[in-house]
Structure 1
């Protein structure tokens, strides 16, 4: 039987985002930011606190922070503007 006369068989695969909330996320309120800062401070995670503060203050995304190096923010003994 030639392939052109065979019926097309398609497997049903549900959408990856069915039932999930997609789109932009709600903004963090100042009380949420301060609550997160307090929890990080209580856990004695200085590095995480520095990254969180940098992310909030510079409005950088997490994927951008991963590639950030010390030379990008600190040079000649001073923090860059």
Structure 2
């Protein structure tokens, strides 16, 4: 991969904003971070596997993943 193969955070956010606007959605209600969070939550809902979500998000502590997802876990971590 070359340095030119990467896009900046600003470029990514502009692409994302245009995509939301093309869908005729209010871009103020969506962000790249909210999409990351929703994707992680949906993966958890489907798999019920916190460890997988933790790895996908790059969290060091499982407790961070639980807090990030905004869920309650019956079993103590």
Measured against the shorter chain, the TM-score band is under 0.3
Q: Which has the higher contact order (CA 8 A, sep 6+)?
A: 2
Greater strand fraction, Structure 1 or Structure 2: 1
So what's the TM-score if we normalise by structure 1?
A: 0.25
TM-score by length of 2: 0.25
